[in-house]
Structure 1
């Protein structure tokens, strides 16, 4: 640490400021770099008590080192996952961390937990303010587990809850009037009666997200009640029609934010204008992605205007200043209507020649912020580039925040794919990539170079899936870049699996799809015990996932 002209260095800063700096560093930098700089920094890290640990993407050795280096009472936020990238991580954590000592823990997220581990963890914790969990294979049939969750919901600390219970299990939860929840997210289906039951008990509830679910409206339900505490409502993948929306929104008149994705026959600006004026007087933000079917075939953008004429009134353009854009798909005569900025996080990109669009926002094509919410995309690169050749003037919006990409290739990998994709995607921002292509085609060296050139641009790529059953282990080893940490592929040969694990030493996890032979699983498990001891395996639905530990010294020498 060299001094500057004013005599200030990082080492001269007071502890309070250094603690603030630690608050913006990632945990591996804190523990494996900052802590080892000097004795004072080591001492500061040892007393730092605001760790926020997210173990969804971590190597097994680093996971173990972090667990050894942090006192349980210094953790305030924790995320654990049994997903493919970190197989059986929750049990690994439980074996080394006593949850009873995590007295400062306030936020807990658990992915694919089984109900035994759920009991072990939640019975030891009583002061959680934020809880998010998904269960392994809907492994949530125990009545004691539902009783435990009911007691947590009615506790005096919990403020935010996210879960994926079935409609049947939600009905068995006791929603006490003591519930102090302020935010609730549900991944499964819920009916209107259940929603009203929750709102009548959770009087502090301000935000509900019904994620990937359908609200089933019971027409005989009493809707005379108004639940004025709710100010934010999100419906994703909805199948509501106009009458269903009217009924649902009639009981939540204080909404300030409303978002709906999906629905049936909702692309009517007059309907929404009248409903908002009548029932949602406090609404300040309205986001939507609505599907529709055109009654006539449309041939140009001017004709697309007719689909959104009802969204061009003074209410939309002047009073609310809510703008929309419409994409019309020629082959199906269907269309999608989006509020702006586009609120959907995942989209499928079609060739411009196959669609028409029109927007009430004049600068939609130039304003790249209109697509900032889009984080995931699926596209067929073969069809997109073929369409681009037919229309040299074609352009696509720029998706600067895209981090997850699925690419379909119909034939050979197209030449100049990097230049084409880079015109609307920042490839260096892609973290998760899935490629579906036919690698049974004979690829010579020059054609493989097109693929490796593409991978060279994905400098931040962490997770790669190659969806192809014909690809050889040798081809995989030559293609996959060394900065990839999690890899998934369809492969059935035990020898090929061993070869990939031996050669791709840079991986943190590897997942094999279409893996069905139990004896092969045992063979691979025994082999890993010798070559990569400490690795954990998970076999589920013909998918074998391995969270890899370090190779033995003898293996490294080989």
Structure 2
């Protein structure tokens, strides 16, 4: 591969040290001279060490980078060298898109560039004050995505009268806000054309009339509103959801609103078009009823999946045991690429869950990554590992699992040779001290941090 690739012709580069490819970046740096990538326009790095990041950025920022993405660095502090290089990169006139899921931009040591052409920014989290700081320094910013945004609804915050009209698109995930705080916060961004909100809040957030008033008075340019809110107060939600049938929502804005609820779990989900949702923690136990502003339908009578684009799906053992034909129509499992399972009861796993899991894995025929986690009192032995290995399909390329013995680890590596990477969690010190352990790791790329071991099994030549 190294002989085929001509670095001077490469315009996009993605490097990763994450769980599926530990050590990839260090291997890449031994094979290529980063100074030769003179036409690089897009750079994305995952889980990178500070030294490697500095080495790559020192050369990359002198190219005409348009997009830069840095995710999940192993750094636990704010190294001044990295912060300086990052500030220099943000000042480059060609840079338009910047993603940084590390809180380097929020460090007191970070020096904001005097000028920046960045129009699209994605960060992991920030406070209200930090949000204002970002918009104050990035005058050309048009889109911001906050993976997590949390204001304590029990405390009062002083909202300044400043507004930032440059912003036209705002996305916020993992919300926990009161409607009062949302109304005050959105006064900062009067020019929004697109708004996306996901999370939970007080009951007032489900008030359609209040949202209508907010949008008419504070967000007059808004033409796309994507939202998904969870609650367990079904009675309040059902009464409030009626207000979303007003002409403003359906006739004027053409925004259908959907209410999904489960009688057994008392789980309620209110959302706009579900197609924007790609990650889902599946808490429904069924039967599930879907109510929309267009019509009322029972999920059993619908031939269409409600969630059609779920890429990452999380299921508890309780929910997995209860999956049946009607609830399975809620999600198109064939689209899932990453599946996370939490097992809590070994006896039920043997008697029921393993059969349900086998059926589900056959439906998720595009799954690439499988994560299986256990409650602390769940007994994980070789018999269980052997059983799980028999269920893992060949299209799964990454497995993330707890293994407490060297025998269990050998079983997985021997039985699942189609895997290209595996992560072992909660490894006891007694296993790590064995001589066989070092023999096992001698010919594979691996990374150990805390109590987890990440192994890259792909031995194809580069």
Fold-level similarity (TM above 0.5): yes
Distance 1:74 1:528, change over 3 A: farther
2:407 match: 495
Q: TM-score of the superposition, structure 1-length normalised?
A: 0.70
Matched, 1:250 2:187: yes
Deviation at 1:78, TM superposition (A): 1.6
Contact 1:115 1:135 in 2 (8 A): no
Deviations 1:259-311 (A, max 9, x none): 122343322222222222212121111122234564xx74xxxx965222322
Deviations 1:404-452 (A, max 9, x none): 33343359978xx7967765555544332333445566959x9977765
Deviations 1:475-528 (A, max 9, x none): 344333333221222112113322432343222112211113276267355323
1:350 match: 284
Distance 1:97 1:320, change over 3 A: same
1:541 match: 450
- Between structure 1 and structure 2, the one with the greater Rg is 1
1:191 match: 127
1:89 match: 24
Matching residue within 36, 42, 46 for 1:107: 42
* 3-state DSSP of counterpart to 2:205: coil
Matching residue within 372, 375, 396 for 1:484: 396
- Matches of 1:92 and 1:159, distance apart in 2: 29
Q: TM-score of the superposition, structure 2-length normalised?
A: 0.83
Matched, 1:211 2:147: yes
Residue ranges of structure 1 left out of the alignment (5+ in a row) = 1-65, 367-391, 552-558
2:7 match: 72
1:139 match: 76
Deviation at 1:70, TM superposition (A): 0.8
Matching residue within 123, 129, 137 for 2:66: 129
Residue ranges of structure 2 left out of the alignment (5+ in a row) = 375-379
Report the number of matched residues: 446
Distance 1:452 1:272, change over 3 A: closer
* 3-state DSSP of counterpart to 2:424: strand
1:310 match: 243
2:377 match: none
Matched, 1:290 2:249: no
- Matches of 1:247 and 1:412, distance apart in 2: 40
Distance 1:324 1:529, change over 3 A: closer
Matching residue within 110, 113, 119 for 2:54: 119
1:23 match: none
Deviation at 1:547, TM superposition (A): 0.5
- Matches of 2:169 and 2:229, distance apart in 1: 19
Contact 2:50 2:74 in 1 (8 A): no
Deviations 1:63-120 (A, max 9, x none): xxx3443111222112222211111221111111211111111111111112121111
Contact 1:304 1:356 in 2 (8 A): no
Farther off after superposition, 470-479 or 498-507:
470-479
1:160 match: 97
Deviation at 1:209, TM superposition (A): 0.8
Contact 1:114 1:135 in 2 (8 A): no
Pairing of 1:103-502 with structure 2 (within 5 A): 103-126=38-61, 127=63, 128-166=65-103, 169-188=106-125, 190-214=126-150, 219-220=157-158, 222-223=160-161, 225-262=162-199, 263-264=201-202, 265-292=204-231, 294=233, 298=235, 305-328=238-261, 330=263, 335-341=268-274, 343-347=276-280, 348-353=282-287, 357-362=290-295, 397-410=305-318, 423=329, 425-437=331-343, 438=345, 455-468=361-374, 469-470=380-381, 472=383, 473-502=385-414
Deviations 1:219-261 (A, max 9, x none): 44542x4322211111212233333223322232111111122
* 3-state DSSP of counterpart to 1:210: strand
* 3-state DSSP of counterpart to 1:278: helix
Matched, 1:528 2:437: no
